[in-house]
Structure 1
């Protein structure tokens, strides 16, 4: 990481206006935001080495355009630099709130690693408990219940602070039903799924369906013995779309009834074990 003093000097130099000021502002922005754009750019670079050409080209074109447009406009009209809002107490509040939100995002990425490696540390209950804390904390801060830098005890709660604080607190409390395995709707795509016992059961919805995990041979043998067809679901431990399907589509009564006519098997393709490698070959065949 670069020293904060260096970034501060670059930021102060960028306030001078003109073409040099715009360039320095762009340099400062690039240095401070590199960690934020890394996941996006990294995904595009990974796609480029996997043979996909169009997606990386379009992705980088849109990314570069979006990143460069503000600085291009400011370079054409340097006087607008003086009209930009100055940092102050409000900026400290933004930093505090964003710090908690970034920690929540970090927990999400850690849950993906936990799922792929099958460590079973960040279970659904632990993950949701962490998110409840990380969203309730900035709410308490904005509402004046949690004393941190940026808000003095004698300051009144403004309408924007009240609205944002209530929103974050409401979101935190809305996660509570998910602790007991209840559906969280669209949000289920981003949180760990409820655990199920082998062969189905152990909860409702997707967990109640008798899926065989990474056992295509066993599913084929059972299907032959029972005279049924096999329904193969290629899925992933960290697949957002897969989680959404499991939480919101497969549990629908009409879908569950249709799936009941098949022998169900789910093949995970994004793990680090031999089963995932074998499932990838089956998917590609």
Structure 2
């Protein structure tokens, strides 16, 4: 989770910067600025970067899961002046990164940024801009700088951010003196990121489209539409072409529905990713999915205004040709919304829970959904004889809707669980979560097998087969609920095993001993002279749960974690308020001040300022004397993780240092 999944490029940046300036007497990036007055109240702020040959600076819009994007913070915006639109940037380049497995967006040689503002305070003389960016070559150097724009040519008055002595001391304690920090950036291939996540999302969308085909809103339309094209065209080939065009427009329409989310991302790259950790957004999605589920159960029907469909239908008849076929496809999308809407909502939920750029994930999912929905129209147009093999419409389609209702409720519970975990409410413990899933799965099983159903209800062979599959899944959940076997197939979805009603001896993964405060864990590591496994994690981090339940649970790894290292797990999304005596303001080197008021803010800042990373899971092995023992590692497999642990521990044993008796 988190904004920068897969960030492996970390700091020995200040050392690198020192070496560069010593050799060249210049920084890799030289900035210049200007102010253009547009009117009495409107100005254009321009910031231009001259980038040294071979170096590059990342765009504001490089995708999450990749390197750190450039960020602009306009101090005082909304008070004495307002921003007119977003910060615009000059032309960028794009290239695929093997390290991050995303398409990076960056500048070479020169970057130019412009921002228009309108002043609302006539006494305003200057505007302050806090800039954060990464400049990269063989290494990446994160840089924070502050710029002042004089609106009327007066001398700049530098504003010094002030924090009290208490905050300054607490901020200094948050910075640790790491040794061998450059090892964090060395990779032998073990620090792996995603594994074809977009194809997985595309597959989920395709599966959702196939399910939508089986609903009463869509299925009856297939033979009617194909017959219309093949029988109402003067030539058979023309009818086939029209049907294929119809299918293409279906794909296009659903893909276009995802584009607004990219616009949201351009405003704030994290506006969608916050779904994974924001308590109230998770509660909102829980309620929405429950609402969707009951529409599938038949309590009410979700429909778009009928006037929309009527207008699209009239437009298709009036325009004709390719444009008319487009309006026919749009009519299908509108009239089928009562069945497709909840499925699309589930697709949005799945992409929100997935790692990476949510907008891109959603586009992949919507593309898969559209392809599945359009496929039968194209295939049956090419092979019209296949229409005879289609089953007749009937009650089985209502069965599909009810099953989808059960699935929607199961997904809804995941959002409520996220809110419960991040908010530290303690309401939806693992046993309660699994018990509700057991009830939902059992209810679906009984429905499919016709137990307690309407008298004389037909039980077709497919329905019985799916009923037995549902029964097997119910049994699987029961075995997991009573801890007869681990639920590895569901890793990351139920709450973690230690979030339990029964097993309250340890609040650490797998019942391991762990510390949730760095200083406490460090003191213990010094006492017992063991290496530290620093685990940056999150309550709503799906990949963290997968690592714990699928990788850490391996006997060889579990033994190492239990006996040979001191585990320190720091939750960067923990919304628990710090005690008043523990709250403070952290001042970055640039002068920017960040208020630290929650546990997550403290450990998130700790991870960023010391390790130059903000993604989870993120693992570091270090000695009690703060010596880095090897590269950082993230989401990976059992053999690589075992090898990583063993090499780090061997490095520690080669030169152990006993710091305390």
Q: Do they superpose with TM above 0.5?
A: yes
Alignment partner for residue 565 of structure 2, among 259, 262, 267? 262
Q: Distance in 2 between matches of 1:164 and 1:72?
A: 24
Q: Distance in 2 between matches of 1:116 and 1:257?
A: 29
How far does residue 98 in structure 1 lie from its aligned partner after superposition?
1.2
SS at match of 1:175: helix
TM-score (norm 2): 0.36
Please name the residue that 2:333 is paired with: 26
Alignment partner for residue 252 of structure 1, among 549, 554, 566? 554
Please name the residue that 1:101 is paired with: 407
SS at match of 1:228: coil
How far does residue 36 in structure 1 lie from its aligned partner after superposition?
4.2
Q: Distance in 1 between matches of 2:558 and 2:367?
A: 45
Instruction: Specify every segment of 5 or more residues in structure 1 that has no aligned partner in the other structure, as ranges.
Output: none
Q: Distance in 2 between matches of 1:232 and 1:170?
A: 39
Deviates more, 1:118-127 or 1:83-92: 83-92
Please name the residue that 2:514 is paired with: 211
SS at match of 1:233: strand
The 3 A distance-change label for structure 1 pair 72 and 28 is farther
SS at match of 2:440: helix
Q: Distance in 2 between matches of 1:163 and 1:42?
A: 28
Q: Distance in 1 between matches of 2:480 and 2:543?
A: 19
Q: Distance in 2 between matches of 1:155 and 1:42?
A: 34
How far does residue 56 in structure 1 lie from its aligned partner after superposition?
6.0
The 3 A distance-change label for structure 1 pair 60 and 128 is closer
Kindly name which structure, 1 or 2, has the bigger radius of gyration based on alpha carbons.
2
CA-to-partner distance for each residue in 1:91-123, whole Å, 9 max, x for gaps? Answer: 211111111111111112211111111111111
Work out whether residues 303 and 335 of structure 2, in 8 Å CA contact, stay in contact via their aligned partners in 1. Answer: no
Please name the residue that 1:275 is paired with: 599
Q: Distance in 2 between matches of 1:34 and 1:5?
A: 10
CA-to-partner distance for each residue in 1:1-23, whole Å, 9 max, x for gaps? Answer: 98649569949x97x99724322
Alignment partner for residue 189 of structure 1, among 476, 481, 492? 492
CA-to-partner distance for each residue in 1:166-216, whole Å, 9 max, x for gaps? Answer: 11011112111222344222223211122379xx9848x943311112x11
Work out whether residues 181 and 194 of structure 1, in 8 Å CA contact, stay in contact via their aligned partners in 2. Answer: no
More helix by share: 1
How big is the alpha-carbon RMSD for the aligned residues of Structure 1 and Structure 2? 4.0
Please name the residue that 1:171 is paired with: 473
Query: Greater relative contact order (Cα 8 A, min sep 6): structure 1 or 2?
Result: 2
Instruction: Specify every segment of 5 or more residues in structure 2 that has no aligned partner in the other structure, as ranges.
Output: 1-290, 292-300, 318-323, 577-597, 610-661
Number of residues paired by the alignment?
A: 268
Deviates more, 1:55-64 or 1:239-248: 55-64
Work out whether residues 346 and 411 of structure 2, in 8 Å CA contact, stay in contact via their aligned partners in 1. Answer: no
Q: Distance in 1 between matches of 2:482 and 2:350?
A: 34
